[in-house]
Structure 1
């Protein structure tokens, strides 16, 4: 399907599609990024937003819906969301924000010249997994068995990376990939049965959507938990990484360039790396673990 109207016909119509829900910080960041550029919703542009809320089978239908509405550009957050839109259109510009290496994940073939109708921004940092594991080892003396929680519906790039890094750090990783919220209780039963020492939750759609329930399970199991930077709002003991929201703000700037005539295929992928460490002392007290003073000394934010 193709756009029902060309760019420049009236005010632009921007579609945005997320695998998660409206509460994603990256969605607010994208809107803030547009606002900073002078885009006022309803006056300077129209926004059509769709949220799959962790139900990936909704994505193809939402993609078709946005195309039928005649959007001028589609912004997507997450690799699985991008793939749904790319299958639906080869000519409407697509701009993405993702946590993966876009080339390694097969989203584009060349980071400097993506080609086709797509480009975007990523907060992917190949060192993040190693640093998160190092921080967990520093927090949990004697850490041996690391539980890792991921998402069965996304590319295996991140799970493979984290499993490799955990093994390289001398740990025994235990990976569970969620297919839905009903898997969370079983996942923690598995982690408890395998005597996990800590939990690392990957920054993927289902763990992001079910963050509150994951923290409930972690507190019940008394597992020190590490999330990505954007999920600090769920109050894990530790959150580390570059915010996907930063990539979403960059995505807004790239959408602006597309609306002004730039071709996505000629726009290099933008890499956003601004890592932060957040330590939540209140969460640590709930499960009865002390936080090393040297970790507090390097934290960008400490929540009392």
Structure 2
């Protein structure tokens, strides 16, 4: 879904920009920069360091939304904003290297896209402002004290709507003759562990039971999915970065074995999952971009901006995926879901 991702790089590349001295104290004057939508620029050029945990459509869309949020508030790429974009390729160690590189380069702000990237950025600096998105449990991840009390240099948007998981479990319990729900996740991702706990809590009293398979890398995902055949009546893939980056492996197993497969976000439905209660990741990225603009322009500090939940939760069903999984779409679903 991401357009123009040519600048996305791994940690083996030190920087995507030939920009020296990129802190705000060395910001260059840009007499041609002006306002765009939400406000006027202050004549400086800012460098935003981007730490993204892995490349997949949801995180990519969040970054696109982030850039749009900045642009609509007077900070446009190539005009008064430059991006130093680095990708950890789903490697926890790489997130630390990226964070140290960005701090060493004295970027003006770090955009941390996913929980591991945000944790590494916060460990690397208490001075450079950090705005995160695609973080499931910012309190549990020890990024902020609470949603209304973010850290001195960190705030952002979460990708957890409080009703998403409970609504998904209720739909499975009410609409499918299922007893077991297969889940694949990386136990090393704190956001995933938090979601699994929420899923188990939501299952209480429904008669559903979780069947868990843990993976460490995306290369292990297909084997984990195959191990669920005969053990899981339904598969539910939460917003785990490691698994979502290899989602097609799970989809192929679900298709081959007629197992209904639910997802934690809408991009996975577009890729071939049956259904999800979700929202557009571009939206939470956009809100993070608005926050970043306020911080860069000196209008707010991170601790003055509360962490935001996503809005506009909706159920989306992929009718082609339903056919592949042997699911008959019930007429009453049309009243509660977008069927595409």
Q: Which position in structure 2 is the counterpart of 1:50?
A: 86
Q: Take 1:184 and 1:51, find their aligned partners in 2: how far apart are those partners? A: 20
Task: Flag the structure with more relative contact order, 1 or 2, with Cα contacts below 8 A and sequence separation at least 6.
Answer: 1
- 2:24 aligns to what SS in structure 1? coil
Match of 2:99 among 63, 74, 81: 63
Q: Which runs of 4+ in 1 moved over 6 A?
A: none
Larger displacement relative to structure 2 (95-104 or 112-121): 95-104
Larger displacement relative to structure 2 (102-111 or 9-18): 102-111
Q: Which position in structure 1 is the counterpart of 2:38?
A: none
Question: Is the CA contact (8 Å cut-off) linking 1:167 and 1:173 kept in structure 2?
Answer: no
Question: Is the CA contact (8 Å cut-off) linking 2:236 and 2:262 kept in structure 1?
Answer: yes
Q: Take 1:189 and 1:126, find their aligned partners in 2: how far apart are those partners? A: 30
Match of 1:209 among 230, 245, 248: 245
Q: Take 1:238 and 1:110, find their aligned partners in 2: how far apart are those partners? A: 31
Question: Is the CA contact (8 Å cut-off) linking 2:54 and 2:90 kept in structure 1?
Answer: yes
Q: Take 2:175 and 2:64, find their aligned partners in 1: how far apart are those partners? A: 32
Q: Take 1:256 and 1:94, find their aligned partners in 2: how far apart are those partners? A: 12
Larger displacement relative to structure 2 (157-166 or 250-259): 157-166
Question: Is the CA contact (8 Å cut-off) linking 2:226 and 2:253 kept in structure 1?
Answer: no
Match of 2:67 among 28, 31, 34: 31
Q: CA deviation at 1:7?
A: 5.4
Q: Deviations over 1:118-163 (max 9, x none)?
A: 11112322221110112223442x1111111222221121121112
Q: Does 1:154 align with 2:183?
A: no
Aligned length, in residue pairs: 298
Q: Which position in structure 2 is the counterpart of 1:223?
A: 259
Q: Take 2:188 and 2:282, find their aligned partners in 1: how far apart are those partners? A: 21
Q: CA deviation at 1:106?
A: 2.3
Q: Does 1:13 align with 2:50?
A: no
Q: Which position in structure 2 is the counterpart of 1:265?
A: 303
Q: Does 1:184 align with 2:221?
A: yes
Q: Take 1:235 and 1:276, find their aligned partners in 2: how far apart are those partners? A: 17
Q: Take 1:178 and 1:67, find their aligned partners in 2: how far apart are those partners? A: 31
Q: Which position in structure 2 is the counterpart of 1:295?
A: 333
- 2:84 aligns to what SS in structure 1? strand
Q: Take 2:230 and 2:325, find their aligned partners in 1: how far apart are those partners? A: 18
Q: Take 1:163 and 1:88, find their aligned partners in 2: how far apart are those partners? A: 34
- 2:218 aligns to what SS in structure 1? coil
Q: CA deviation at 1:188?
A: 2.0
Q: Does 1:246 align with 2:283?
A: yes
Q: 1:105 to 1:243 in 2, by over 3 A?
A: farther
Q: Deviations over 1:4-59 (max 9, x none)?
A: 63357220001111111164221222222223333321212101111123222211
Relative to the length of structure 1, the TM-score reads 0.91
Q: 1:173 to 1:22 in 2, by over 3 A?
A: closer
Gaps (5+ residues) in structure 1?
A: none
Give the alignment's Cα RMSD to 1 decimal: 2.0
Larger displacement relative to structure 2 (183-192 or 30-39): 30-39
- 2:138 aligns to what SS in structure 1? coil
Q: Does 1:170 align with 2:188?
A: no
